[in-house]
């Protein structure tokens, strides 16, 4: 949580932004399920998508070598590792070479044959930039978004200073606090990432990860099912980075949770931010719009635990928020 002093000053001025979580009636369905298998939603998507992907794989195999058998086809998945911009950009090159819309080489067409696509950290920047913009080609993202955004990079503190002052992240964070939610460094981090990866207003401030299920290419099963992964950090045990046995969490547009034995449960992504006790909401009102797409990809790429990062205490004016953010990013650059 950011300093109470500066927050109380900001909160008085806060009005709801696109980023602000919303209180809404709870669904009648349960908000927690045991990790005993895929959710009904994911299973339905997987079956429909596999049928589409099989056709593409069949076509690719046949054109590659007419001798290939195509009677029984595997489920194909692709993931992009962590590694900041290096993994994001090398992963983008891979997708370009697999996407028949974007290349004409021997591997083109295999993107169309994927049933799942995953990404961690820098790999999740790539995944969410593709899915959060409704699956344009990598060339399109390069020309209409990344080329400029990466010049105004998080890795260039001079440019960043301008960005922090220009954009509305301070209001977004104050408004989330005013709505009753603790904020952490992952909030400004996710908002900054948003300006690099999403074309929508205010760097995707109003785009949620769960809303990808309403995008046309998702509803038509034209694209692989996206999975963002994140490693748990046991801060209560003094950890600053994920340990060797870290819990692997996944965020899909439908669910958040983990298959690992210490969690072994899932909750709907759409209702993240809802307060639960024993798996049941503590009030009649649940939360939506907490699962901002930049915030989720920021969670997957959060290499700084605020408990472990030595930062100046935020002072009590909103310009100092910018200074604090700059210090955070300087720290990341080290
Ligand atoms: C792709 O390349 C091959 C071989 O160079 C060529 O025959 C084919 O017409 C090309 N297809 C498209 C869609 O450009
Ligand atoms: C997504 O939909 C658009 C518009 O229908 C289409 O042009 C594009 O190729 C689709 N993307 C994929 C990956 O199928
Ligand atoms: C990792 O987890 C397994 C299973 O929970 C446990 O048996 C093992 O001791 C753990 N190892 C470490 C290094 O924590
Ligand atoms: C702002 O912080 C300074 C230093 O902590 C303190 O002396 C000052 O009274 C604070 N101002 C307000 C308006 O809270």
Q: Does residue 316 have its Cβ closer than 6 Å to ligand 4?
A: yes
Ligand nearest to the CA of 315: 4
Could you report how far apart the first and last alpha carbons of the chain are, in Å? 23
Distance of CA 311 to the CA centre of its chain: 25
Question: For residues 271 and 273, what is the distance between their CA atoms, to the nearest angstrom?
Answer: 6
Phi, psi of 203 (to 5 degrees): 55, 40
Q: Which of 307, 298, 314, 310 is nearest to 251 (CA)?
A: 298
Q: What percent of the chain has pLDDT over 90?
A: 66
Q: Confidence class of residue 309 from pLDDT cuts 50, 70 and 90?
A: low
Q: Is 293's pLDDT higher than 70?
A: yes
Query: Can you name the residues that pair with 163 across neighbouring β-strands?
Result: none
Instruction: Give the mean model confidence (pLDDT) for residues 39-44.
Output: 98
Which residue's alpha carbon is at the smallest distance from atom 7 of ligand 2?
136
**Cα of 245 to ligand 3 centre, how many Å?**
6
Q: Which helix (H) or strand (E) holds 324?
A: helix 318-333
Which residue's alpha carbon is at the smallest distance from atom 14 of ligand 3?
245
- At 199 the pLDDT is 95
| Range 4-333 has CATH code 3.40.720.10 | no
- At 154 the pLDDT is 66
Q: How many CA atoms lie within 13 A of 47 on its CB side?
A: 6
Ligand nearest to the CA of 218: 2
Q: What is the pLDDT of residues 72-100, one digit of tens each?
A: 999 999 999 999 889 999 999 999 999 99
Q: Which of 133, 129, 41 is nearest to 85 (CA)?
A: 129
Q: Confidence class of residue 316 from pLDDT cuts 50, 70 and 90?
A: very low
Residue 252, SS3 per DSSP:
coil
Residues whose CB is less than 8 angstroms from the CB of residue 77 and which lie 6 or more positions away in sequence, other chains included: 114, 115, 116, 117, 118, 224
Q: Which of 52, 33, 329, 293 is nearest to 164 (CA)?
A: 329
Q: Which of 213, 218, 194, 229 is nearest to 80 (CA)?
A: 229
Q: What is the pLDDT of residues 100-126, one digit of tens each?
A: 999 999 999 999 999 999 999 999 999
Question: For residues 155 and 143, what is the distance between their CA atoms, to the nearest angstrom?
Answer: 20
Q: Which helix (H) or strand (E) holds 280?
A: strand 280-281
Residue 9, SS3 per DSSP:
helix
What sign does the CA torsion over 294, 151, 153, 124 have?
positive
Question: For residues 305 and 314, what is the distance between their CA atoms, to the nearest angstrom?
Answer: 16
Beta strands in 58-154 (DSSP E): 76-80, 114-120
Is 80 within 8 Å of 229 (Cβ atoms)?
no
- Residue 20 to residues 172, 187, 325, Cα–Cα distance (Å): 7, 11, 20
Phi, psi of 212 (to 5 degrees): -60, -30
DSSP, res 292? B
- At 317 the pLDDT is 52
Q: Is 152's pLDDT higher than 80?
A: no
- For ligand 2, which residues put their CB under 6 angstroms from it? 101, 135, 216-217, 222-223
Is 7 within 8 Å of 182 (Cβ atoms)?
no
Q: 198 versus 320: which is more confidently predicted? A: 198
Residue 119, SS3 per DSSP:
strand
- For ligand 3, which residues put their CB under 6 angstroms from it? 244-245
**Paired sense of beta strands 33-34 and 265-268, if any:** antiparallel
**Cα of 259 to ligand 2 centre, how many Å?**
32
- At 1 the pLDDT is 45
Which residue's alpha carbon is at the smallest distance from atom 13 of ligand 4?
316
**Cα of 102 to ligand 2 centre, how many Å?**
12
Q: Confidence class of residue 186 from pLDDT cuts 50, 70 and 90?
A: confident
Q: Is 324's pLDDT higher than 60?
A: yes
> What mean pLDDT, rounded, does the chain reach?
88
Which residue's alpha carbon is at the smallest distance from atom 1 of ligand 4?
316
Q: Which helix (H) or strand (E) holds 94?
A: helix 84-98
DSSP, res 231? E
Q: Which of 173, 93, 107 is nearest to 138 (CA)?
A: 93
DSSP, res 273? T
- Residue 55 to residues 6, 44, 52, 109, 176, Cα–Cα distance (Å): 57, 18, 5, 11, 45
**Cα of 103 to ligand 1 centre, how many Å?**
10
Q: Is 321's pLDDT higher than 70?
A: no
Scanning the structure block, which residue is given the tokens 């992952």? Answer: 186
Distance of CA 322 to the CA centre of its chain: 23
Q: Confidence class of residue 171 from pLDDT cuts 50, 70 and 90?
A: confident
């Amino acid at each position: 949580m950011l300093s109470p002093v500066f927050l109380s000053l900001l909160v008085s001025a806060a009005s709801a932004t696109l980023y602000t979580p919303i209180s809404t009636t709870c669904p009648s369905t349960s908000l927690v399920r045991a990790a005993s298998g895929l959710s009904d939603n994911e299973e339905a998507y997987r079956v429909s998508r596999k049928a589409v992907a099989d056709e593409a794989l069949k076509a690719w195999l046949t054109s590659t070598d007419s001798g290939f058998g195509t009677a029984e086809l595997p489920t194909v998945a692709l993931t992009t590792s962590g590694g900041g911009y290096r993994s994001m950009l090398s992963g983008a090159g891979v997708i370009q070479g697999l996407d028949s819309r974007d290349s004409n080489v021997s591997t083109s067409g295999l993107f169309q044959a994927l049933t799942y696509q995953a990404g961690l950290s820098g790999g999740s920047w790539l995944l969410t930039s593709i899915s959060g913009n409704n699956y344009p080609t990598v060339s399109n993202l390069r020309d209409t978004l990344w080329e400029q955004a990466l010049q105004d990079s998080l890795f260039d503190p001079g440019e960043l200073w301008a960005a922090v002052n220009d954009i509305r992240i301070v209001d977004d964070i104050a408004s989330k606090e005013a709505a009753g939610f603790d904020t952490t460094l992952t909030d400004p981090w996710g908002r900054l990432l948003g300006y690099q990866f999403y074309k929508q207003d205010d760097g995707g401030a109003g785009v949620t990860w769960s809303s990808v299920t309403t995008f046309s290419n998702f509803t038509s099963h034209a694209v692989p099912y996206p999975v963002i992964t994140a490693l748990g950090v046991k801060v209560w045990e003094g950890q600053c980075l994920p340990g060797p046995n870290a819990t692997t969490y996944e965020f899909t547009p439908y669910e958040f949770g983990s298959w690992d034995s210490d969690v072994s449960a899932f909750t709907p992504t759409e209702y993240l931010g809802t307060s639960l006790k024993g798996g049941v909401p503590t009030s009649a009102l649940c939360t939506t719009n907490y699962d901002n797409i930049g915030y989720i990809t920021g969670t997957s790429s959060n290499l700084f635990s605020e408990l472990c990062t030595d930062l100046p205490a935020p002072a009590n004016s909103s310009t100092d928020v910018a200074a604090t953010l700059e210090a955070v990013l300087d720290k990341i650059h080290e």
